[in-house]
Amino acid sequence: GVMREISGLDKMEQKLKQLLNVNEVIIVAGNSDQSSWVKSELGKAGAARMKKEWKAKNIIAVTGGSTMAEVAKMLTPDSNGKDILFVPARGGLGEEIQNQANVIVAKMAEKTNAAYKVLYLLDQVSDEAYQSFMKEPMIKDVISLIKSATIVLHGIGDAMVMSERRKTPSEIIKTLEQKEAVGEAFGYYFDEDGEVVHKVQTIGIQLEDLDQAKRVIAVAGGESKAKAIRAYMKRAPQTTVLITDEAAAQQLIKG
Ligand code: G3H
């Protein structure tokens, strides 16, 4: 639109696409570090972009986080009554309840009159308990649904912010510091070259699963996330749609 051209967001989108080597970037005005309405705009843009991907039948895997919670808030039902199932992308990562993928998928389903499934998993379990959990038919079912997701929607976090928020054990925080982790997505932690320096062991979507067959949509904004976004995008599939805000974009372009 005219406003976007005047404000230069269109140009920034083109620049970021080249810089990050992805096919699509969407930028909303403002800085979500500073104003909650910008985060809502990110949520709105995430919801709208995801809805554009909806086909007759959809399985949508979603991660946790406050940005995903904003997307959930902004969702509306599809007028054509599509077949939609929301599932959490991965098992628990140690988040507080409001940031958990299970809670977010339930909210997304409620907002769109769609279906959802959750993963009943404890965050920290012994290997033995984990192995027997994995044999539960209910869990197996959800895992196979997750693996056949047609859309993956996820957030990107600052590594240190995320590891602290998730009450990560101090020895792991030390490793993250030593290996200079800057970004986080799906419970994977990345250094500035996009190398995985740590991953939370849990079931569901693994980084290798983000293949070309799926539409991956990443939503993350705020100046403070620029480093994290740059790091993760080195690893992200080229087909990823990145939705971010002006402040993060400016920082990314500055380099
Ligand atoms: O899983 C969490 C995300 O990577 C980032 O969380 O949206 O609350 O910043 P956030």
Q: What is the pLDDT of residue 132?
A: 86
Ligand 1: distance of its center to the CA of 129 in Å? 28
Q: What is the pLDDT of residue 124?
A: 63
CA-CA distance, 6 to 8, in Å (whole number)? 5
Residue whose CB lies within 8 A of the most ligand 1 atoms, among 33, 42, 99, for a mutation test: 99
Q: What is the pLDDT of residue 94?
A: 86
- Which residue is closest in CA terms to ligand 1's atom 7? 67
- Which residue is closest in CA terms to ligand 1's atom 9? 157
Q: What is the pLDDT of residue 127?
A: 81
Ligand 1: distance of its center to the CA of 148 in Å? 23
- Which residue is closest in CA terms to ligand 1's atom 2? 65
Q: What is the pLDDT of residue 212?
A: 66
Ligand 1: distance of its center to the CA of 208 in Å? 20
Q: Which atom of ligand 1 is nearest to the CA of 222?
A: 9
ipTM here: 0.97
Angstrom CA distances, 118 to 26, 57, 115, 144, 231, stand at 29, 19, 10, 13, 30
Ligand 1: distance of its center to the CA of 131 in Å? 28
Please list every protein residue whose CB sits less than 6 Å from any atom of ligand 1.
Answer: 63-67, 155-157, 162, 184-185
Q: What is the pLDDT of residue 121?
A: 77
Count of positions (residues) in the chain? 255
The residue written with tokens 């190398």 in the block is 195
Ligand 1: distance of its center to the CA of 154 in Å? 8
Per-residue pLDDT 10s for the chain (255 aa) are 777 777 799 999 999 999 999 999 999 999 999 999 999 999 999 999 999 999 999 999 999 999 999 999 999 999 888 999 999 999 888 899 999 999 999 999 999 999 999 998 766 667 888 888 888 998 999 999 999 999 999 999 999 999 999 989 999 999 999 999 999 999 999 999 999 999 998 889 999 999 767 899 999 999 999 999 999 999 999 899 999 999 999 999 998
- Which residue is closest in CA terms to ligand 1's atom 6? 65
Q: What is the pLDDT of residue 205?
A: 92
Burial of 13 (C-beta count, 10 Å sphere; 0-12/13-18/19+): middle
Between CA 95 and CA 51, with CA 77 as vertex, the angle to 5 degrees is 75
Ligand 1: distance of its center to the CA of 2 in Å? 32
- Which tokens in the block code for residue 134? 């994995």
pTM for the model: 0.96
Q: What is the pLDDT of residue 7?
A: 79
